[in-house]
Amino acid sequence: MSETRATGRRVVVKIGTSSLIHDSGRVNLQTIDRLAYALSAMNNAGTEVILVTSGAIGVGLAAQHLQTRPAAIAEQQALAAIGQSSLMRLYGERFTDYGASIAQLLLTHDVFDFPESRRHVLDTIAALLARNVIPIINENDSVATDELDHKTTFGDNDQLSALVATSIDADMLIVLSDIAGLYDQNPKQHPEAMLIPVVAGPAALGQAQASGAGSRFGTGGMVTKLNAARTMMAAGKQMVLCSGADPRIVLKVLEGAPFGTWFGIKEGQS
């Protein structure tokens, strides 16, 4: 693969719960610090950056010293309320350390379903970016539920990140995950699995091998990431799926380094 330099002016970065929470259930403070550093560096360099974060329920579990996600919706929403405030406190501390300003937006799907509310939230994001503030977006897990009569849930933050990216006309979506990219088979079960470095278009996704949720703390899996990639490519945008073990990788991705899987990139494109 020849080097492809990403020159996007506006970038959405999505990080999953599995990257923010250790297998032990404790918060991964190093990951949060490195994420804040990387996004602050992007911001300082003139890139408009938006963070879509998971992790509210995971952080809530850690705060309550729980190992198992409860089945009851009310209990999950309570943990989300606890965890979201703690997560934003951590983000606030780390981004402040690097001189960056942040703002929180909690969204439900119906915000995008209704034109007026959609316009208002997009105007808010635009105003924050104009002030050099980094919006941090998460689903409003404390009120969103698929049991309501109208659609409130996104289902996963991969879908949310792609919807945000296409709605604000972002040039690229970078998805940080517990897997280093798209493989020809599940690398957790098959050590010989080969990374697929480039998926040129939606048709190429037909060969993808998809699996379910990767950890007990998260809700997404490869299926949701491929759906996000389809959304981005259908809009003529780029998506990169790469490891979130060290979020500073986003700086290399923006330089065009061949990490992870690039969706919507053709060989030889510059």
| Residues 137/53, Cβ–Cβ less than 8 Å | yes
58 is in an annotated binding site: no
252 is in an annotated binding site: no
C-alpha angle 114/108/50, rounded to 5°? 100
Buried b or exposed e, range 175-192, using 16+ CB within 10 angstroms: bbbbbbbbbeeeeeeeee
142 is in an annotated binding site: no
Q: Where are the alpha helices (DSSP H) in the chain?
A: 17-20, 29-44, 56-63, 73-97, 109-113, 115-130, 157-167, 222-234, 249-254
Q: What is the largest CA-CA distance in the chain?
A: 51
- Kind plus residue range of the DSSP H or E element containing 15: strand 10-15
Q: To 10 degrees, the CA torsion angle through 40, 29, 17, 51?
A: -10
177 is in an annotated binding site: yes
| Residues 99/40, Cβ–Cβ less than 8 Å | yes
113 is in an annotated binding site: no
| Residues 75/103, Cβ–Cβ less than 8 Å | no
145 is in an annotated binding site: no
220 is in an annotated binding site: yes
Q: Where are the alpha helices (DSSP H) in 64-114?
A: 73-97, 109-113
221 is in an annotated binding site: yes
149 is in an annotated binding site: no
141 is in an annotated binding site: yes
132 is in an annotated binding site: no
Residue ranges for the binding site for ATP? Answer: 14, 177-178, 219-225
From the annotation, which residues make up the binding site for substrate? 54, 141, 157
Binding residues: 14, 54, 141, 157, 177-178, 219-225
